């Protein structure tokens, strides 16, 4: 008994070894992370298409059922109506509006994958194409019964404004839906004829309809097609169209009209439809012509900067610089906003985006009467300001105002550097004369934020102060040297640009895993503001603990999510409440990497199916030194059962076979299926035939030294491989094999995502969100590709020209980039690690040791996993 | 007397505090945790007897218990025999005796993780040193860590190598306390060296053997780092130890309640085994 008592402390230590850390941490547990308060100004702008849909109606045009948009809606009931008597009863709807509305819907579909928006866009495109007259020219208006108005001057068959907008809408359809989409086929003949008609004008050196506005909109459509379907001919046509716009600029930094591009016939710059800056900037980027970007900057840097210095965008500017301040309409603000955003993208200078946000603020009240022109509750936009007082607000809400506001706000909402300035207002009196505009103007934002825009010769400067005192953010990147170095480089750039928001880097503290360190930090309320090494497996727990901030609820990160991803890419990241709680930062889509020479020597092609894989393995196993022991293999499947080992064999095979179905969805087990059985079976067969080594290859990578000819791996491996491979090893990648009869190219890849989270302990959620948006900007993404050979989780990465050069920096990266859109990660579920462990043991029993059948293994694992999910 | 008592309390206060914080509090807290469901980051909830019910029906736990006994069945006798043999050798006149004593003790002070990584290289099937030697003899290769029947014995051998130095010291101390006169007396009676060892040394080393067996048993039940690094509990769960499973539940799955239940169950098993051991060895001692 005495001995037993003597052992109590010892046994206590045994028991305590598991719980002491927990016991100590419990002292801080009761409080949990304090809930972060996101101020209303830091929330994203809500885009509502309700009013635009309200204006839509079904109509039959040229015998085809289509959709159109009514021209007007008058307050207070906002009933859709057509052209009034003052305009000569032109009709109920027009190509002019329908085409631009189609652009709104297409962009909305691009962001949200909302099928309603696609249907609306296709219906409107049917109307638009039905108004084409067989030669690329268009009618504009229709009457209530759908018959075209051929008589009105604003509707006659011509190649003018409405044809240009039709071209814009068709081009956007090709870009957004993709050139191979069957719905695009219906548009294609009209698009081709319209482009031919445009070529006729351009060949003769004519502006479309004699107008910079129409020419710019036609050019936007052409460039949309060129982005996804590049041809030399189209590039040439686009270049020559852009060249027509360049010489229209008049004046210079000190001479009115300060670089304004004016229609030759009118000699006046008008705000409405002034999209030539946007078109030139986009042309410069798409056609790789810096001269066009410089041309675009001329109007944006000089005339438009004077607008900001004066405090508002006037309705018109004469050649002598005098202005017509009113009416101010959304159609006048939207082109300036999108023009600045196009410049921001073409130059990668955030200062343009800042100006875009400041101009777009007009829609939210940064105007003389302080009226909120866009109503986020209904999606209506007032038709305009007739003068400086509230009484002069036109509270009707027609199609054009609604569409243009949605275009502008939709664009700003996907630019983090712009969207955060929607709440800013000009300080000081508005100046009507651009010549007398001050050299500097301050804009005041929430929480004492200030932005100062100042003229600097032919260009301008933007300075920002986020608040009364300097904000300091703590950022934890992963502790590996490559990522720490990347983080330091990015933080240096950020800190230089934002002296008022300084970021301090600290690699994730040492621990068994970053997951454990972060959980310990959560328990101890010692989390950083931002961490960029949050796995999807951990995310579910962090959300359950209320430890991270919802990022689609913050303007800057919501904008980046919109700019960078699509709804299908985000859908697996959504938590049950629909929220996105981490920015999917980088992806390592798994592919089958193979030794080119070993496969050639064995006379096999890179395997695409399971049969081909088994056959390749049979041919690749060798005894190269004649000692009667196999020493070269086709593939190595790891023997350990730790959950993440399955990232390199079973799980990629399963995802490729399951059409993207994962393990757990909405709290239900979804892996009890044929794909899981097939993925285990193919590896079981390989082990049973002794085609796979039963070795852990401790301390070395058998692909690098030529021992195995194939491995499933992501692009992160490429940099390491280049540094450590045996001399002369040549390699390439191919999609992971799929069951016989499936198409490997269409299969999903394991995405292996790493995410960035903002922790609830931050005192500066808006500033943290801005830094996260910067970490995921095109500039930062490009650096990531170049420095660490990893890929941003970004839509259409492989075809995005901004990353083309970076992707050539490392071998095979382009092939990997092509898989980023079809990636699936591990499920964002709090119990996913345990589910993986269970499945990994089942895999081991069936595939490696063959002690149970694959069917039985999957069935048993599913049963166990269900019990785990039920118990929580 | 009162001042003396105050001084005593004062002097014992640090250790008392240490004991309360790092032994009694964890034990008490782990008992409470058995009744809770807690993932560290959200407030705990009452789980009733769920954790205990799960334990009873948990095949992994029982497999881990069986595995631990398999480990002990190999490790304990091996540990005692090797430690005793080494101690006996090191207690004799030997060239560089201090060096050998230090050399055999060295693994004890080396980090367990480092030792395990070293052994993983020795055990590697394809390029491991052991299989390399076997290959020269036209034997093998032996899948030391990937054959379900061999993996746990391989781990037991490794654990023995790692810990034997400590037990050698215990036996050395015992050997040095065996009176030389006893050996001389039995040798005068014509006993061989083996007989002298069997009938004099061994009985006199019984207290040390009891200590070695007790400590080895406790350490053996806490088997963790070796399977954690070498096998992850495989193949076919044959090297899954109770502590490894407890670690997984606590720190991979954040099931602190269930991990505490496993901890208490392990403490109970250790207690029972220790009591049985003491009875068996103690009765042998008495006899």
Q: With an 8 Å Cβ cutoff, are B23 and A12 in contact?
A: yes
Please compute Rg for chain B using Cα positions: 23
Chain A residues within an 8 Å CB radius of B43: 29-30, 32
DSSP string for B3-27? HHHHHHHHHHHHHHHHHIIIIIHHH
Confidence of residue A10 (pLDDT cuts 50, 70, 90): very low
More confident residue, A260 or B279: A260
Chain A residues within an 8 Å CB radius of B44: 29
Specify if B85 maps to a domain.
Answer: yes
CB A381 within 8 A of CB A373: yes
Residues contacting A550, CB < 8 A, separation 6+: A579, A580, A581
The lowest-confidence range among A131-145, A252-266, B38-52, B268-282 is B268-282
Cα–Cα dist A207/A213, whole Å:
9
A830 touches chain B (CB under 8 A): yes
Q: Summarize pLDDT for A681-727 with one digit per residue, the tens.
A: 999 999 999 999 988 887 778 999 999 999 999 999 999 999 999 99
- Determine the residue of chain B that is closest to A524 in CA distance: B41
Q: Summarize pLDDT for A431-478 with one digit per residue, the tens.
A: 989 999 999 999 999 888 899 999 998 999 999 887 678 899 999 999
A266 touches chain B (CB under 8 A): no
Note down the domain range covering B182.
57-286
Cis bond leading into A803, ω under 30°?
A: no
CB B237 within 8 A of CB B218: no
Substitution target from A2, A3, A6, A22 for chain B, most B beta carbons within 10 A? A22
Q: How far is A486 from chain B (nearest CA, A)?
A: 29
A27 touches chain B (CB under 8 A): no
Chain A residues within an 8 Å CB radius of B121: 698-699
Q: With an 8 Å Cβ cutoff, are A23 and B25 in contact?
A: yes
- pLDDT (0 to 100) of residue A12: 44
Task: Kindly state the percentage of chain A with pLDDT values over 90.
Answer: 81
- pLDDT (0 to 100) of residue B204: 87
- Does the pLDDT value for residue A35 go beyond 60? no
Q: Token pair for residue A464?
A: 């920002």
Interface of A with B in 478-537 (CB under 8 A): 512, 516, 519, 522-523
CATH number, domain with residue B226: 1.10.3720.10
Every domain of chain A and the residues it spans: 251-451, 471-581+754-783, 591-751+827-870
- Does the pLDDT value for residue A5 go beyond 70? no
A834 touches chain B (CB under 8 A): yes
Residues contacting B98, CB < 8 A, separation 6+: none
CB A822 within 8 A of CB A587: no
C-alpha neighbours within 13 Å on the C-beta side of residue A104: 31
- pLDDT (0 to 100) of residue A22: 44
Chain A residues within an 8 Å CB radius of B33: 19, 22
Q: Token pair for residue A284?
A: 């410069």
Confidence of residue A36 (pLDDT cuts 50, 70, 90): low
Q: Please choose, from the candidates A305, A283, A293, A284, the residue with its C-alpha nearest in 3D space to the C-alpha of residue A351.
A: A305
Q: Note the maximum CA span of chain A.
A: 111
- pLDDT (0 to 100) of residue B280: 80
Chain B residues within an 8 Å CB radius of A19: 26, 29-30, 33, 250, 256, 259-260, 263
Chain A residues within an 8 Å CB radius of B210: none
More confident residue, B181 or A362: A362
Q: Please choose, from the candidates A608, A578, A604, A577, the residue with its C-alpha nearest in 3D space to the C-alpha of residue A591.
A: A608
Cα–Cα dist A116/A108, whole Å:
10
How many domains does chain B divide into? 1
C-alpha neighbours within 13 Å on the C-beta side of residue A382: 22
- pLDDT (0 to 100) of residue B179: 81
Q: Summarize pLDDT for A538-557 with one digit per residue, the tens.
A: 898 888 888 999 999 999 99
Q: Which of A3, A693, A833 sits opposite B253 (nearest CB)?
A: A833
Cα–Cα dist A112/A120, whole Å:
14
Q: With an 8 Å Cβ cutoff, are A841 and B243 in contact?
A: no
Q: How far is A523 from chain B (nearest CA, A)?
A: 6
Substitution target from A696, A697, A838 for chain B, most B beta carbons within 10 A? A696
Q: Summarize pLDDT for A748-781 with one digit per residue, the tens.
A: 999 999 999 999 999 999 999 999 999 999 999 9
Specify if B207 maps to a domain.
Answer: yes
The lowest-confidence range among A177-181, A394-398, A614-618, A622-626 is A622-626
Chain B residues within an 8 Å CB radius of A22: 29, 33, 38, 40, 250, 256
More confident residue, B280 or A14: B280
CB A192 within 8 A of CB A198: no
Specify if B5 maps to a domain.
Answer: no
Cα–Cα dist A476/A530, whole Å:
6
Q: How far is B270 from chain A (nearest CA, A)?
A: 8
A14 touches chain B (CB under 8 A): yes
Q: Which of B41, B50, B148 sits opposite A547 (nearest CB)?
A: B41
Q: Which residue has the tokens 């989390």?
A: A527
Query: A471-581+754-783 adopts what CATH topology?
Result: D-Maltodextrin-Binding Protein; domain 2 (3.40.190)
pLDDT digit string (tens) for chain B, length 287 residues: 577 888 888 999 999 999 988 889 888 998 999 999 998 888 899 999 999 999 999 999 999 999 999 999 999 999 999 999 999 888 887 778 788 888 888 888 888 888 888 898 899 887 788 988 888 888 878 999 999 999 999 999 999 999 999 999 999 998 888 887 887 788 777 778 788 888 888 888 888 888 898 899 988 998 999 999 889 898 999 999 999 999 999 988 989 999 999 999 999 999 999 888 888 876 655 55
Q: With an 8 Å Cβ cutoff, are A512 and B23 in contact?
A: no
Q: Which residue has the tokens 């950022």?
A: A475
Q: Which of A29, A519, A641 sits opposite B232 (nearest CB)?
A: A641
Confidence of residue A14 (pLDDT cuts 50, 70, 90): very low
- pLDDT (0 to 100) of residue B286: 56
- Determine the residue of chain A that is closest to B244 in CA distance: A18
Average pLDDT over residues A825-836: 91
Q: With an 8 Å Cβ cutoff, are A544 and B274 in contact?
A: no
Specify if B135 maps to a domain.
Answer: yes
- Determine the residue of chain B that is closest to A845 in CA distance: B236
Cα–Cα dist A283/A84, whole Å:
38
Q: Please choose, from the candidates B261, B264, B247, the residue with its C-alpha nearest in 3D space to the C-alpha of residue B37.
A: B261
Around Cβ A40, how many Cβ atoms within 10 Å?
7
- pLDDT (0 to 100) of residue A23: 46
pTM: 0.85
Interface of A with B in 759-798 (CB under 8 A): none
Specify if B18 maps to a domain.
Answer: no
CATH tag for A591-751+827-870 (out of 3.60.15.10, 3.30.750.210, 3.40.190.10, 1.10.10.10):
3.40.190.10
Substitution target from B41, B113, B130, B247 for chain A, most A beta carbons within 10 A? B41
Confidence of residue A34 (pLDDT cuts 50, 70, 90): low
CB B217 within 8 A of CB B278: no
Q: With an 8 Å Cβ cutoff, are A544 and B266 in contact?
A: no
Specify if B261 maps to a domain.
Answer: yes
Cα–Cα dist A769/A788, whole Å:
23
Task: Kindly state the percentage of chain A with pLDDT values over 70.
Answer: 95
CB A278 within 8 A of CB A261: no
Residue A692, classed as helix, strand or coil, is: coil
């Amino acid at each position: 008994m005495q001995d037993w008592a003597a052992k109590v402390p010892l046994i206590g230590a045994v028991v305590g070894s598991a719980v002491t850390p927990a016991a100590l941490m419990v002292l801080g547990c009761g409080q949990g992370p304090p809930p972060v308060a996101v101020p209303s100004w830091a929330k994203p702008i809500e885009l509502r298409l309700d009013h635009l849909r309200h204006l839509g109606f079904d109509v039959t045009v040229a015998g085809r059922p289509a959709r159109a948009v009514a021209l007007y809606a008058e307050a207070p009931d906002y009933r859709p109506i057509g052209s009034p008597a003052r305009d000569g009863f032109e009709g109920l709807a027009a190509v002019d509006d329908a085409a631009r509305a189609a652009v709104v819907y297409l962009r909305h579909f691009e962001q949200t994958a909302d099928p309603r928006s696609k249907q609306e866009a296709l219906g409107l495109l049917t109307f638009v194409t039905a108004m084409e007259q067989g030669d690329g020219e268009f009618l504009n208006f229709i009457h209530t019964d759908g018959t075209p108005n051929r008589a009105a001057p604003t509707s006659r068959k011509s190649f003018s404004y409405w044809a240009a907008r039709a071209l814009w809408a068709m081009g956007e359809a090709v870009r957004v839906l993709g050139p191979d989409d069957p719905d695009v086929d219906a548009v294609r003949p009209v698009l081709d004829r319209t482009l031919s008609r445009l070529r006729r004008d351009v060949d003769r050196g004519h502006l479309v309809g004699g107008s910079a506005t129409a020419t710019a909109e036609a050019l936007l459509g052409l460039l949309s097609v060129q982005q996804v379907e590049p041809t030399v001919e189209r590039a040439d046509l686009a270049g020559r169209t852009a060249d027509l716009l360049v010489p229209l600029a008049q004046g210079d930094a000190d001479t009115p009209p300060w670089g304004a591009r004016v229609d030759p016939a009118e000699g006046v710059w008008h705000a409405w439809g002034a999209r030539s800056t946007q078109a030139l900037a986009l042309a410069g980027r798409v056609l790789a012509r810096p001269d066009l970007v410089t041309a675009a900057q001329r109007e944006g840097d000089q005339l438009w900067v004077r607008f900001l210095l004066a405090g508002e965008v006037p309705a018109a500017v004469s050649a002598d610089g005098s202005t017509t301040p009113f009416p101010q309409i959304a159609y006048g603000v939207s082109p300036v906003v999108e023009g600045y955003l196009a410049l921001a993208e073409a130059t990668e200078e955030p200062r343009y985006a800042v100006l875009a946000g400041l101009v777009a603020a007009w829609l939210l009240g940064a105007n003389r009467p302080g009226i909120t022109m866009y109503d986020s509750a209904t999606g209506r936009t007032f038709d305009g300001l007739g003068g400086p007082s509230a009484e002069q607000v036109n509270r009707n809400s027609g199609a054009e105002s609604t569409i243009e506001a949605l275009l502008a706000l939709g664009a700003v909402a996907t630019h983090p550097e712009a969207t955060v300035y929607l709440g800013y207002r000009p300080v000081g009196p508005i100046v009507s004369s651009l010549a007398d505009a001050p050299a500097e103007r301050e804009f005041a934002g929430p929480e004492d934020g200030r932005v100062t825009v100042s003229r600097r010769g032919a260009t301008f400067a933007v300075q920002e102060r986020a608040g009364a005192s300097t904000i300091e953010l703590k950022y934890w990147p992963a502790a590996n040297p490559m990522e720490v170095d990347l983080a330091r480089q990015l933080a240096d750039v950020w800190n230089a640009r934002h002296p008022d928001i300084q970021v301090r880097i600290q690699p994730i503290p040492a621990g068994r895993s970053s997951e454990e360190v972060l959980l310990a930090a959560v328990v101890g309320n010692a989390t950083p503001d931002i961490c960029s090494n949050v796995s999807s497996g951990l995310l579910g727990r962090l959300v359950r603990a209320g430890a991270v901030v919802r990022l689609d609820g913050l303007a800057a990160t919501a904008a980046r999510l919109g700019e960078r991803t699509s709804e299908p890419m985000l859908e697996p990241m959504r938590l049950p409440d629909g929220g996105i709680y981490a920015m999917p930062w980088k992806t390592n889509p798994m592919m089958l990497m193979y030794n080119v020479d070993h496969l050639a020597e064995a006379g096999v092609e890179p395997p695409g199916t399971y049969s081909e894989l088994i056959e390749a393995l049979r041919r690749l196993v060798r005894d190269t030194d004649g000692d009667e022991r196999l020493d070269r293999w086709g593939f190595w499947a790891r023997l350990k059962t730790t959950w993440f080992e399955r990232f390199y064999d079973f799980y990629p095979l399963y995802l490729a076979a399951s059409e993207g179905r994962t393990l757990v969805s909405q709290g239900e087990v979804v892996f009890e299926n044929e794909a899981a059985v097939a993925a285990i079976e193919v590896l079981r067969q390989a082990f049973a035939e002794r085609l796979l080594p039963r070795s852990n290859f401790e301390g070395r990578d058998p692909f690098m030294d030529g021992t195995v000819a194939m491995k499933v791996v992501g692009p992160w491996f490429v940099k390491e491989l280049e540094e450590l491979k045996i001399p002369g090893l040549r390699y390439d990648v191919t999609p992971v094999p799929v069951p016989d009869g499936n198409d490997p190219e269409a299969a999903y890849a394991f995405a292996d995502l790493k995410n960035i989270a903002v922790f609830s302990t931050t005192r500066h959620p808006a500033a943290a969100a801005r830094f996260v948006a910067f970490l995921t900007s095109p500039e930062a993404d490009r650096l990531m590709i170049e420095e660490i050979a990893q890929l941003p989780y970004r839509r259409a990465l492989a075809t995005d020209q901004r990353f083309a050069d970076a992707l050539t920096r490392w071998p095979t990266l382009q092939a990997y980039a092509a898989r980023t859109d079809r990636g699936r990660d591990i499920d964002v579920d709090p119990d996913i690690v345990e589910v993986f462990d269970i499945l990994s043991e089942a895999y081991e029993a069936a595939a490696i040791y063959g002690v149970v059948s694959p069917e039985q293994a999957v069935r048993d694992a599913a049963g166990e996993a269900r019990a785990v999910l039920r118990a929580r | 007397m009162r001042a003396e008592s105050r001084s005593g309390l004062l002097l014992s206060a640090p250790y008392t505090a240490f004991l309360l914080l790092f032994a009694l509090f964890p034990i008490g807290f782990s008992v409470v945790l058995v009744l809770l469901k807690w993932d560290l980051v959200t407030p705990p909830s009452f789980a009733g007897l769920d954790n205990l019910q799960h334990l009873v029906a948990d095949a992994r736990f029982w497999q881990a218990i069986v595995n631990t006994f398999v480990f002990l069945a190999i490790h304990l006798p091996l540990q005692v025999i090797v430690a005793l043999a080494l101690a006996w050798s090191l207690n004799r006149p030997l060239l560089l005796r201090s060096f050998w004593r230090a050399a055999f003790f060295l693994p004890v002070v080396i980090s367990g993780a480092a030792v395990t990584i070293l052994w993983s290289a020795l055990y590697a099937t394809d390029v491991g040193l052991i299989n390399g030697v076997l290959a020269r003899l036209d034997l093998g290769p032996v899948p030391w860590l990937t054959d379900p029947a061999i993996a746990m014995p391989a781990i037991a051998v490794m654990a023995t190598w790692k810990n034997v130095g400590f037990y050698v010291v215990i036996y050395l101390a015992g050997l040095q306390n065996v009176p030389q006169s006893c050996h001389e007396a039995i040798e005068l009676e014509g006993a061989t060296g083996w007989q002298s060892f069997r009938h004099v040394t061994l009985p006199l080393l019984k207290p040390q053997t009891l200590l070695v067996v007790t400590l080895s048993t406790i350490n053996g039940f806490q088997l963790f780092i070796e399977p954690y690094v070498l096998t992850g509990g495989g193949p076919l769960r044959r090297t899954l130890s109770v502590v490894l499973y407890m670690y997984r539940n606590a720190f991979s799955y954040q099931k602190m309640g269930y991990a505490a239940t496993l901890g208490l169950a392990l403490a109970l098993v250790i207690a029972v085994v220790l009591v049985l051991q003491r009875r068996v060895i103690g009765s042998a001692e008495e006899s």
